[in-house]
Homo-oligomer: A and B are copies of this chain.
Amino acid sequence: MSAAPRILTVGTGAVGAIYSWRLGQSSEITAVCRSNYQAVKDNGFDIESVKFGKDVFRPHDVVRNVSECVTSKPFDYVLVTLKALPEVYNVADIIAPAIKDKNTAIVLIQNGLGVEEPIVERFPDNPLISVVAYIGTSQHEPGKIKMLGSESLIVGNYSKAKSNSETQRARFIELLKKGGVDVRVVDDIEQYRWQKLFWNASFSPVCTITGMNTSEVLESKEAMSAVKSLMDEVISAANAEGYSFDKEQQMKEMISTTKATAKNYKPSMQLDRERGSPMEIAVILGTPLKRAKERGLSVPHLEMMYSICSATNQHIIHSMSKI
């Protein structure tokens, strides 16, 4: 194919904007925007990044929803950068209008565990590219994006996929690299989803529930006791699936990395709660709990944290629907 690849980005918040911008160096981007639609349609994304510089990025097309942009010509990639909120919406339903051709690859840049499952179930014949992102970026007003420090994407095989995605994955990695993105290719993406959970299923809910930031959690004996129990159980759950994470080493590393790099940091789950936005509880706490239970593992601390975070989330979602 000599024409520029056509990419549809679904959920163009901060993460979606950054990677659309980088992919946009070599591809034609259509961006689905909701709350920031008018701002982006009029002025594009105004982006400031230490790593990539300052720029205004104007997607090839900006639309309000997926069905608005469907033409006879299929997209090469549908890039999903929506928050992973199975409590609120089904990603498969949202992207369905754009998945008309079995060559359209679906790329998930989402947090949590199990985000691929509903996609594989609904679109078993489409190539699936599952990505874990390490990036600090935020949209402080509609269309205005700031990105801190560096970023990296981990791209790997999703072993439960039902179709081969090697060709599309290799090409997508090239597109990312052309945009200067730091890409790490791994054999098994779930291993890295689990590993990200060691932090995200422990520090994130403890910050969220207590109101403490990472530095305050690190200083609090009680908060750290909760963090460690959760991390311990999530690592056990991963190992019950066949991984062999060294528990002590993982915990030591997670804590020392947090001390070194996440000063006074508030995880996105906590920011969501503070804003009254739905939190990614199902994929961060729900899936590891479900997987642990399927293996007959006892994970009572995780169970308690899941129950109260899930109820908190219901309360947030219910309050939103009242507005």
A34 within 8 A of B: no
B315 touches A216 (CB 8 A): yes
| Contact between chains at A308 and B209 (CB < 8 Å) | yes
A303 is contacted by which of B210, B223, B301, B314 (Cβ under 8 Å)? B301
Interface residues of chain A: helix, strand, loop or mixed (majority): helix
Cβ–Cβ contact A210 & B304, under 8 A? no
In the complex, A114 has a CB within 8 A of chain B: no
Contacts of A311 in B (CB 8 A): 206, 210, 212, 217, 220, 222-223, 226
For residues 284 through 323 of chain A, which have their beta carbon under 8 Å from a beta carbon of chain B? 300-301, 303-308, 310-312, 314-316, 318
Min CB distance A101 to B, Å, is: 40
**Contact at B229–A312, with CB atoms within 8 Å?**
no
* Interface membership of A225, Cβ < 8 A: yes
Q: Using a CB-CB cutoff of 8 Å, which residues 210-263 of chain A contact chain B?
A: 210-212, 216-217, 220, 222-223, 225-226, 229
By CB atoms of chain B within 10 A, which of A300, A304, A314, A316 has the most? A304
7 contacts between A and B (CB under 8 A): A212-B315, A223-B314, A225-B307, A229-B303, A301-B301, A304-B305, A305-B308
Residues of B within 8 A of A318 (CB): 216
- Which B residues are CB-close (under 8 A) to A305? 304, 308
Q: Is the CB–CB distance between A308 and B229 below 8 Å? A: no
Q: In angstroms, how far is the closest chain B Cβ from the Cβ of A278?
A: 14
- Whole-angstrom CA separation of A212 from B301 in the bound complex: 21
CB pair B226–A308 under 8 Å, yes or no, is: yes
B315 touches A229 (CB 8 A): no
A223 contacts B307, C-beta separation under 8 Å: yes
Residues of B within 8 A of A211 (CB): 312, 315-316
List residues of chain B with CB within 8 A of the CB of A212.
311, 315
